[in-house]
A and B are shown apart, each in its own frame.
Chain A
Amino acid sequence: MARLSFAEALVEGMRHELRTDERVFLMGQDIGKMGGVMGGSRGLIEEFGPRRIRETPISESAMVGAAIGSAMVGKRPIVEISFGEFLPTCMSQIVLQAANLHYMTAGAVDVSMVLRTRIGDGPYRGHPQCYESWFAHVPGLKVLMPSTPTDARNLMIAAIRDPNPVIFFEHMWLYHGVREEVDDFPVAATIGKAAIRRVGRDVTVVATGWMVHKALEAAETLALEGIEVEVVDLVSLAPLDIDTVASSVRRTSRIVVAHEAWKIGGIGAEVTAAITEACFFDLEAPPVRVGAPHHPLPMAKPLRDAFLPDVDDLLRAIRQAMAS
């Protein structure tokens, strides 16, 4: 048992697979001597050397292509795109090649690769945009967004072992901002399941990544007022575990969906639509969505604070859901 940060747990997950499977390697920028952006691969170069911890040129499209091709010949690559903001530079490789290959070859080809990247606001206020919903829209990709150290480690293991392309989003506030006791038994967690982080009977709050922790904070506050909030951590954006959300909503009859990404077209829109279809007659109130306003994320702190959905926004949204 060790108390690990989210970042340390991620590295533990990669380390476990690097130790046990010779086919696994990591490539990305600054992942060697520097220890990775925000320590995202700290210690790996020392243990595994430059053949398996491969520094790359700034060539995201070639990096993802190289991951796909090496996966096709039996390797298990992890490719790190330093920040989500760089994903548009390798979009064709992800959505045209990685996502399509298995289906279009009628199962002849598997693309067992992990693409990990950092998103969201963070301590350095750099490269924060959240683009995860783009990837949930495209068939053929698994999209993960863990919020706890244990899940970070065990889902990383699962992602590496999965025979499909997995896009792994790491929220930057979680990196050093969240710690927990992590057991000594690294295992592959099941991909495609949501997790209930707090049980409550009055209202379901569905959240992703860092927003899960804000939702838990809001739930603490509302508990003092006698409102029992159930917090569902989506964890996997694709496949989307609507069953877990729906069974929660059938108990609470109310739903709030929250993420840091833009509200319009975000994954919350899909969750809200799916829940409206599945649970329309169970709902006591219209669903409420929390997300960023529809403009680019500004840089200066006061502007950014105004832009980012926070605990107050969640409190307002939950009270709105409770009011009707």
Chain B
Amino acid sequence: MSRPNGPGTGEGGNLGSTVRIGLLKAMMLSRTLERACCELNPRWFPAEGEEGVIAGTFFGLRSDDTMAPHYRGPFLAYALRGADLSRLVGQALGKANGYARGRALGFTGPAAMGIVPWVAGDLGTTIGVATGCALGFSYEGSDRVTVCSFGDGTTNRGDFHEALNLASVWKLPIVYVCQHNQYSISLHASEVLPIEHLSIRAGSYGMPGLTVDGNDVFAVHTAVRDAVARARNGDGPTLIEARSYRLGGHWASDPGGYRLPEVQAAWRDKDPIPRAISEMVDAGELTQHEIDAMWGEVRHAVDEAIVIAKACPDARIEDIGSDEVFAEVPDGTSAPLGARSGSWRA
């Protein structure tokens, strides 16, 4: 069982079958969709191996909650909010049909989806923005929550510390999930983190921190679900460290060379998807036939999206939107500047 302010393992035994099937399907979709983007765009960021964290974190939120997904594997959050998969793929390829119309690398969607877009090239500021969404919810006195994920490398940014401190001081309804894949591009966590479990950092902000096995989607989801309930109840933020491993490169065509092949192979054996499948098949929750059907359904949806996206033209020059840098100011709100009225001296 997870325990505050230290390592532990989440326990997924109390999740209903519908939720467990939903989580498995979410992992399958994330795997298939992100892999397709990697095949089509060599600069896309492979999320393979981290689907347990991704699905466990964002599955099952209320439609009026806000999600702030990490840049590695962002599309599941959008898909869970009903995004058109062909527009997501198109976005990753800079096509005209992308939600960002070719203006951002990929992580954006309609405002109504309630997802914090990824428009900045840095790491960490998105945590501050997500915290601001939680501030908005707290300010309006609603029980909406924000769930925000980021990498282990990002926890060394000052923005991480500032945001967690602020969220705790104001008891904001937010859950911070570290999608710990052990790598900041080529640097292993052990080279840049002086502690084994960064969940202990939560203690210095006076919030609960726990470590879960990120390759156990049920454990991740249980931990996040409980933290969401806590936030919704007005009890403030939680930090969850979900430990996994980046099976692919930093970007799809990353030649790598900075990792030991045997370590990579060992983590391949811990792949969260086969793990969940064998657990569910062993428990009699799903048959192999049903599993195959689920894969088939997901692959069909993604294949269809790829066909549509590839057929779309690249973003057109009229999408550049030089006159769309600012939101339009509503009419009737403006008056001239003050006229000169004698001396201004005090």
* Interface, chain A (partner B; CB < 8 A): 5, 25, 51, 54, 56-57, 59, 61-75, 77, 92-93, 96-97, 100-110, 112, 139-140, 142, 147-151, 154-155, 158, 161-164, 176-182, 187-191, 193, 195, 197-198, 213, 235
Q: How many A-B pairs with Cβ below 8 Å?
A: 219
**Contact A65/B163 with A92-B122, A97-B120 known, Cβ cut-off 8 Å:** yes
Interface positions of B from 91 to 129, Cβ below 8 Å from A: 99-101, 103-104, 108-111, 116-117, 119-122, 124-129
How does the 8 Å CB contact mask read for B117-150 relative to A, with 1 for contact and 0 for none?
Answer: 1011110111111111111110110000010000
Contact of B125 among A75, A92, A163, A187 (CB under 8 A): A92
Does the CB pair A73–B117 fall under 8 Å?
no
Cα–Cα, bound, A25→B127 (Å)? 21
Contact of B328 among A112, A163, A213 (CB under 8 A): A163
Number of chain B residues whose Cβ lies closer than 8 Å to a Cβ of chain A: 63
Question: Which of chain B's residues has its CB closest to A217's CB?
Answer: B345
Contact of B137 among A71, A73, A93, A105 (CB under 8 A): A73
B87 to chain A, nearest CB (A): 11
Q: Which residues of B contact A93 (CB under 8 A)?
A: 125, 128-129
Cα–Cα, bound, A70→B133 (Å)? 5
Q: Is B15 an interface residue (CB 8 A)?
A: no
How does the 8 Å CB contact mask read for B294-312 relative to A, with 1 for contact and 0 for none?
Answer: 0000000000000000000
Q: Which residues of A contact B265 (CB under 8 A)?
A: none
Does the CB pair A106–B324 fall under 8 Å?
yes
Q: Which residues of B contact A195 (CB under 8 A)?
A: 337-338
Q: Describe A's contact surface by its main secondary structure.
A: mixed
Q: Which residues of A contact B338 (CB under 8 A)?
A: 148-151, 154, 182, 189, 195
**Contact A65/B131 with A101-B119, A104-B119 known, Cβ cut-off 8 Å:** yes
Q: Which residues of B contact A73 (CB under 8 A)?
A: 66, 132-133, 136-137
Q: Is B335 an interface residue (CB 8 A)?
A: yes
Question: Which of chain A's residues has its CB closest to B166's CB?
Answer: A62
Q: Which residues of A contact B325 (CB under 8 A)?
A: 102-103, 139-140
Contact of A57 among B104, B169, B346 (CB under 8 A): B169
* Interface, chain B (partner A; CB < 8 A): 66, 99-101, 103-104, 108-111, 116-117, 119-122, 124-137, 139-140, 146, 158-159, 162-163, 165-166, 169-170, 319, 321, 324-330, 333-338, 340-346
Question: Which of chain A's residues has its CB closest to B329's CB?
Answer: A162
Does the CB pair A69–B336 fall under 8 Å?
no
Q: Which residues of B contact A140 (CB under 8 A)?
A: 325-326
7 A-B residue pairings within 8 Å (CB atoms): A51-B139, A59-B165, A61-B159, A62-B165, A103-B324, A105-B117, A189-B334
Cα–Cα, bound, A77→B138 (Å)? 13
Cα–Cα, bound, A164→B343 (Å)? 33
Does the CB pair A164–B326 fall under 8 Å?
yes
Cα–Cα, bound, A61→B111 (Å)? 23
